[in-house]
Amino acid sequence: MYDADMSLPHALLGLLIVRPRSGYELTKEFESHIGRHAWAAGHTSIYPELNRMAENGLVEVTHEGARGSRTYAATEAGRAELRRWMFDRDRSRKVRNEEVLRMFLISALDPDDAVAYLRGIAEESAEKAAELAKLLAATGPIVQGDPEKFGLLAAEYGRRQYEAVHGWAEWAITQITGQAAEESRSSRATAS
């Protein structure tokens, strides 16, 4: 079992199982897709991770090109590690979700600030859902046997998730504005 605290090596393995790629190609993939929606990583973390993975037998260099460029491919051990990780449903892992933490703490804001924060979430999630919907419309359906198209499953997952977050944020705004209106009516009634 590969000892990694984060999912970067598994993301790299998944991409390399689909087809061999250079570190440069992997970095571009993270910049254009994965890093924007799932897992951010740049060349300063990708290249050292590829070296560690090669040392651990999860990937191999299949081609060395000009200026030291290398093309990597997943090994059988790498395929086995990705499969193990994909099916690992260990629920004892520590959860760290910054957005959910902010929701626990939103009561520390005054109602106007809380609504402004939630409007930002609603707008951002609507924009991201629309961006993914546009991507999905432009790429066509998933074709069985075409692993390159399986990324569309993640895009659809993300689109649906952003739509759900948008709906939730709109609902939360009505909860806060309704509560603020009720508190205002209550304080006016007490003052009379």
Tell me which fold the domain 8-87 belongs to.
Answer: Arc Repressor Mutant, subunit A (1.10.10)
pTM summary value: 0.69
CA–CA gap between residue 41 and residue 32 (Å, rounded): 11
Number of Cβ atoms within 10 Å of the Cβ of 181: 11
Residues 6+ apart with CB under 8 A from 81: 1, 2, 9, 10, 13, 58
Q: What is the pLDDT of residue 182?
A: 66
Q: Walk along the chain (192 residues) and give the pLDDT tens digit of each residue.
A: 444 445 889 989 988 998 999 989 988 888 877 777 777 787 888 899 999 999 999 999 999 888 888 999 999 999 999 999 888 877 666 767 788 889 989 999 999 999 999 999 999 999 999 999 998 888 877 766 666 667 788 889 999 999 999 999 999 999 999 865 666 666 666 666
